Amino acid sequence: MKKKQQLPMTPGLSTDEKGLLLARLLDEKQGEEIVLLDVNGVCPIAEQIIMVTGKGQRHVQALADALLHLAKERNIASLGVEGYQTGSWILLDFNDVIVHVFQDDLRSFYNIEGLWSEGRRVDWSTGPKDAQ
């Protein structure tokens, strides 16, 4: 497996702050079952992984759109998006944070949480919210 080239971090925004910011935005946009995993040292391509479930194709696409808008607004590097057209599983690569936006049936089928079960769950709902 080829290791991803590390790009400069977003100025003034740590990986932890970025993960919290993205997870909280997903919550604001009514994403369901949001899980933020710290996979630093476990995953060779990211430090954090976020999983979220949307209520259908349009909601999944709207969640991805909101993340991309926030990334542009906050100057967060977005390295790619996969699966947007079908809207059943969209993967967004923010360099050190990977976001998986699923429809419910595919999320349970692929079980990303199980794949990265060695990662540490991060409570994104508490702590300082001034990063927003």
Question: In total, how many domains does the chain have?
Answer: 1
Structural domain span for residue 61: 15-117
Please report whether residue 93 resides in a domain. yes
Q: Is residue 95 part of a domain?
A: yes
Q: What is the pLDDT of residue 12?
A: 74
* Domain presence at residue 105: yes
Instruction: Tell me which DSSP letter residue 5 carries.
Output: P
Distances 117 to 28, 49, 51, 80, 123 between C-alpha atoms, Å: 26, 11, 13, 24, 15
The answer as to whether 9 is a domain residue is: no
d(CA 89, CA 52): 10
Is 10 inside any structural domain? no
Q: Does 47 fall in a domain?
A: yes
Residue 88: pLDDT above 50? yes
Using the predicted structure, report yes or no on whether residue 67 has a pLDDT greater than 80: yes
Average pLDDT, the chain: 89
Is 125 part of a structural domain of the chain? no
Q: What is the pLDDT of residue 131?
A: 43
Higher confidence at residue 6 or residue 29?
Answer: 29
Residue 126 in domain: no
> Any idea what the CATH number is for the domain that residue 111 is in?
3.30.460.10
Question: pLDDT tens across 18-52, in order?
Answer: 999 999 999 999 999 999 999 999 999 999 999 99
Place of tokens 């936006």: 101
What is the DSSP-derived secondary structure letter of residue 82?
E
Contact 64, 90 (CB under 8 A): yes
